[in-house]
Amino acid sequence: MATAGVSAMSLLRRVIGDVLRRIRRQQGRTIREVASVAGVSLPYLSEVERGRKEASSEVLAAICRALGIDLAELLEEARDELRRGQPPVPATPGVRPPAPLNPGVRPRVPASRRDTAALVGPRRPEPLARLGAPDEPPHRLRPLRRVPGPRTTLMLARRSAGAGRRRLPRA
């Protein structure tokens, strides 16, 4: 997974470098001239154009100013170059994108908690135990008591046993 990200980044470096070189050559300018106007060294600009160095946004902006283009134009050219060169790839290998929805079917949108509370109503009280027959009136219902589990009981017993215990000082 990390190698895919590295190869994609190196591809982006190459594409940006190719676009810079193509624009420079279309203008009929030398690499030395553009490097001096941009304020970068000639070897560094050469490596950026070859896709060997990843230039910062500030350096790319300086090179673009030297070429008389906007940084946005450079990135648009690089985007178009990337789109031309690669078919769309699914996000996960082996997983196809979902089929398009039927025109009459709307996707379900999860409701916020407030909307859900309005639809469901107020929170229900503790569960009630029924005493006697199922047809008895509701006033005969009592709340269930929660009984602690065996581990909780053991922990409480250990705490209470250790609370009054005194330790003898070491001799």
Confidence of residue 1 (pLDDT cuts 50, 70, 90): very low
pLDDT for res 83: 83
- The residue with greater pLDDT, 85 or 97, is 85
Is residue 145 one of the residues assigned to a domain? no
Tens digits of residue pLDDT in 123-150: 555 555 555 556 656 555 566 566 666 6
Task: Count how many domains the chain has.
Answer: 1
Q: Which residues pair with 129 in a beta bridge?
A: 142
Is residue 36 one of the residues assigned to a domain? yes
- The residue with greater pLDDT, 66 or 5, is 66
Question: Residue 30 is part of which domain span?
Answer: 2-84
Question: Would you say residue 24 has pLDDT above 60?
Answer: yes
Name, in order, each residue with C-beta under 8 angstroms of 125's C-beta and a sequence gap of 6 or more.
143
Name, in order, each residue with C-beta under 8 angstroms of 14's C-beta and a sequence gap of 6 or more.
50, 51
Q: What percent of the chain has pLDDT over 70?
A: 45
Q: Do 57 and 71 meet the contact criterion of CB atoms below 8 Å apart?
A: yes
Give the domain CATH number at 28: 1.10.260.40
Is residue 140 one of the residues assigned to a domain? no
Is residue 123 one of the residues assigned to a domain? no
Is residue 49 one of the residues assigned to a domain? yes
Helix-, strand-, coil-residue percentages of the chain, each rounded to 5 = 55, 0, 45
Is residue 136 one of the residues assigned to a domain? no
Is residue 94 one of the residues assigned to a domain? no
Is residue 108 one of the residues assigned to a domain? no
